[in-house]
Amino acid sequence: MTLAKKMELKKGQLQGFLRMMMLIRRFEEKAAEMYMRGKIGGFLHLYIGEEAVAVGSIAALKDEDYVVTHYREHGHALAKGLSSKSVMAELFGRTTGCSKGKGGSMHLFDASKNFLGGYAIVGGMLPVVTGLALASQQQGQKRIACAYFGDGAVNQGEFHESMNLAALWKLPVLFFLENNGYGMGTAVERAASYAQTIYRLPDGYGMPSQRIDGQDVLEVFQATKEAAARIREGQGPEFIEAITYRYRGHSMADPMEYREKTEEEQWRGRDPILLFRKRLEEDAALASKEFDKLQEDVDKEVDEATQFADESPLAPLEDIYQNIYA
């Protein structure tokens, strides 16, 4: 049985998954280049290696569903439909950016896409997603709220507070843990006594949970699709832990001296883009020329986004007083 038939996906959708992962990868590579050239300031946390998580899961959600995430959020923003131009311009701090150049890398936001922010505080998005889900429930809407967070967030108090309220009130929340093995430079095994069973933490709240392969975009898609359907039917929140890996450091300032080369090489062999490309080719869902065309399109889009960002204006000084509470 072909992938298309097994997953009830068309060839165009499968290639769309691959293209989006390729776009995120190329976007992040270009962002790193622009950071080193001084075009991007502040902090820059790259998503390279984790593309299958954002692409597979967000493809399984609906446009009206809310997404909130952490500060490594460029991939989520692109997968949710934000334009590469608006995201790159935001990294450049330009007025044409999705947050008017005021948020930068860690604070992308676009209400029109129901992408309600990257949050720099570890676990800070969890009370927000709980509130969004409560509003959806009280308004009788069918939309769900999905929060992405890292393994470091599970040690925060708001993680448990949010899980408790979501389970108690049967809120339409999908808690999505991207476990890339490290919280900054600390391996998860050194920070959590339950590192091997994080996905079982929701048991204490009576919340369904599962652990999946975050390098397999189709496994991510299917798990999210099934969980989202149950949540939308009013069965309450669910929890997914995706095991993945970041190929770059915590941020551009991280030399990655805490990781073994053999570990990195092992995970390089499970590159989600290479794995999915091979799978599509074996299933006759992708020809060599089609891949080359995808790469050409992605390269062109990222180059145009970079040029757009570089040519966009910086905000005048007086704009610092706009859009503030007091």
**Taking a C-beta distance cutoff of 8 angstroms, is the pair 110, 102 a contact?**
no
Name the burial class of residue 272, with classes exposed (0-12), middle (13-18) and buried (19+) by CB atoms within 10 angstroms of its CB.
buried
What percentage of residues in the chain have a pLDDT greater than 90? 80
pTM of the model: 0.94
% of the chain surpassing 70 pLDDT:
98
Nearest-10 Cα torsion for 268, 271, 277, 283: 100
User: Do 123 and 149 form a contact (C-beta atoms < 8 A)?
Assistant: yes
Euclidean distance between CA atoms 89 and 93, whole angstroms: 6
Residue 177 parent element (H or E): strand 173-179
Tell me, what's the pLDDT at 3?
A: 61
- Contact status, residue 179 vs residue 243, Cβ threshold 8 Å: yes
| Full DSSP string of 196-253 | GGGGGGGGGGT--EEEEETT-HHHHHHHHHHHHHHIIIII--EEEEEE---SS-SSTT
Q: Which of 204-213, 220-229, 263-272 has the lowest mean pLDDT?
A: 263-272
Domains of the chain: 3-249+256-312 (3.40.50.970)
Q: What is the bridge-based pairing of β-strands 182-183 and 115-118?
A: unpaired
Residue range 153-191, pLDDT digits in tens: 998 899 999 999 999 999 999 999 999 988 888 877 787
Least confident of 11-15, 151-155, 168-172, 195-199: 195-199
pLDDT digits (tens, 9 = 90+) for 211-261: 999 999 999 999 999 999 999 999 999 999 999 999 988 888 878 888 888
**How high is the pLDDT of residue 26?**
98
Instruction: Indicate the SS3 state at residue 173.
Output: strand
